[in-house]
Amino acid sequence: MAERILELEAEAEAQTGPVVLSRYIDRLDAAIRAVAPSPRSRLGRMASYHLGYCTPEGHPAASDPGKRIRAALCLWSCEALGGDAERAVPAAVAVELVHNFTLIHDDIQDGDEQRRHRDTVWTVWGVPQGINAGDGMHAMALQLLLAPGRDAARRMRAARLLSAAIVEVVEGQCMD
43-65 pLDDT, tens digit per residue, is 999 999 999 999 999 999 887 77
Going residue by residue through the chain, which has 176 residues, state the pLDDT in tens, using 9 for 90 and above. 556 555 545 554 554 456 778 889 989 999 998 988 888 999 999 999 999 999 999 999 887 777 899 999 999 999 999 999 999 999 999 999 999 999 999 999 999 999 999 999 999 999 999 999 999 999 999 999 999 888 889 899 999 999 999 999 999 988 98
- 3-state DSSP assignment of residue 118: strand
28-45 pLDDT, tens digit per residue, is 999 998 988 888 999 999
- Pairwise CA distance, residues 49 & 55, whole Å: 6
Give yes or no for a contact between 137 and 100, defined as CB atoms under 8 angstroms apart. yes
Residue 6 CA from chain centroid, whole number: 35
- Pairwise CA distance, residues 57 & 114, whole Å: 18
- Ranges of beta strands (E only) in the chain are 114-115, 118-119
- Pairwise CA distance, residues 90 & 95, whole Å: 9
